[in-house]
Each structure stands twice: as C-alpha cells, then as structure tokens.
Amino acid sequence: MKIFIDGKFFSERDAKVSVFDHGLLYGGGVFEGIRAYNGRIFKLKEHVERLFQSAHSILLKIPLTPAQVAKAVVDTVRANKLKDSYIRLVVTRGVGTLGLNPLSCKNPSVIVIAGKIQVYPPEMYAKGMDMVTVPTVRSLHSTVNPAIKSLNYLNNILAKIEANNAGVEEAVMLNAAGFVAEGTADNLFIVKRGELFTPPLSAGALYGITRATVIDLAEQAGVKVSEPNLTRHDLFNADECFVTGTGAEIMPVVKIDGRAIGTGKPGPLTARLVHDYHALTQVAGEPIY
C-alpha cells in the first residue's frame, strides 16, 4: 500500500506522523471518507468541499487548493492500482508543542490512504440490522458542531461502544432535546405511507453526502422527502428504516430497541433506493485512469 503524506508517497511500513502532531495529541484535524467504484471516485468534489468547510470552521488552513487535494486523492488510488476502494482523506494541525494552543502548529499535514473497507457483514445487507438507542447524546451545535468531521470522534465512539455492549452494530443517537439525530457513523431514514423522512441537520445530523444522494434519488423517483424532528416513537412505527453513509452505503434496519420495524424485513422502497444507488455509483464520479 502506498500512502500520500504531504506530497510524497510512502509504503505502509514507512508512513508515519510525529507524536507531537496535534491531530494525535488533541484531535486537531478533519477528515473525509470517500469511495471509488468501477474506476471512478464517487462525489469527490462534494467530499473535498466538505473537507474545506470543516477545516474553515476550526480555523485550519489546508496547505493545498481544493484541486490539489482532489488530485492527491486520485493519484493515491491510481498509485495503489485500485478500481474499487475506500479512501481516507485526513488533514491534521501538524506538529506543535505540548499544550492546546494551535498557534504552535505551523505546517498542517495532508494524508491520503486508499484501501478496502467492510463496515458491516455482507449478509446483514440482505436481512437488515438491529439498532438500539444509546444514552450518549449527539454533540451540541454549541460545542463541536456535528457538521464538522473532526478527528475527535469520541462522541460517536462512546455511542458505538454502547451499541456493541448491547450486542448490535449500530446505535440511534438522540440530541439533547430527545429528538433523533443519527447513528454513530450513519444518517438515518424512515419510510411511512410511501414518504421518506430523515432528521433535519439542525437536530445534529451530519451533512451526509450519501444522505443527500439518497434524497435526490428518492425525489427523482417521485417520492416525497421531508426533514422533520423525529422521535423514537416515529422510528418504532415506521414502515421501513435504513441508514446511509459512505462506508455503509445503504443498510436496511429491521429492529430498534426490540421493536420490529414494519414487517421486520427490508422494505421495497429501501430495496429500490439500494438498487438506484448502486447503479449510480457505477457510472458517476471522477475517473481514476
């Protein structure tokens, strides 16, 4: 595996960051997870835009232009001779002194890793997953805004631990007001009477690129999409449920907190969106070769 770090490629063995990098010491940095399908990088422009927005919000100046970052992503996938891959794009504050002050970090680092990923077991996509609601609430907008994909993912990790302790792969995270925000790494959707609902961004949902793609696909299919505040009661009584994410793609949800969702099996609208999403990923995106 060849890994891009600050303009150069390193082998997996030789790819290193300093122990004084504030990305390691304090979570100072931002990232994106990106997918490549069939020789094309899906939604690369949107991912790079979101990376720069996250960096801007935490006053982190990326030392490359958006076009240069996009080229680094393409070059990394090409260097690893991959047609289908998961790409982790990371920008750290860089090396600084011990102490929180980010002004000690003079040279942010840009890292690109391209490899494979399997977020959930393949058989789960056919039968659907169970979820539980966890005590850890989604970060407040007044703390670390959920729109920022920062390297400090402890809020999500704590919720993931609680899901694992309950014997499931994914959790429903509520916000401080008790409304549904999202999963630990996925956006959440429900279907009710043929309409599609997903929590609003103001509830603590990530500005998900897969989320936006699914909304577009649903609207193109003539499905009405709304973004109201949702409660656990809404989830329990949905006809269908699924989660979305770059790594997860579209995963049906068949049970939440012990309550079967709809028939307890993946539903027809979910299946159609899965089909349409996979079809889109095979033809859309930035060519690698």
Give the catalytic positions in this structure: 149
Distance between CA atoms of residues 19 and 96, nearest Å: 10
Residues with Cβ within 8 Å of 40's Cβ and at least 6 positions away in sequence, in order, are 283, 284, 285, 286, 287, 288
CB 42 within 8 A of CB 34: yes
Among the listed residues 277, 156, 258, the one whose alpha carbon sits nearest the alpha carbon of residue 216: 277
CB 33 within 8 A of CB 43: no
Residue 181, token pair as written in the block = 């925000």
Q: Count each helix (H run) and each strand (E run) in the chain, helices first.
A: 8, 16
Burial of 52 (0-12, 13-18, 19+ CB in 10 A): buried
Distance between CA atoms of residues 93 and 96, nearest Å: 8
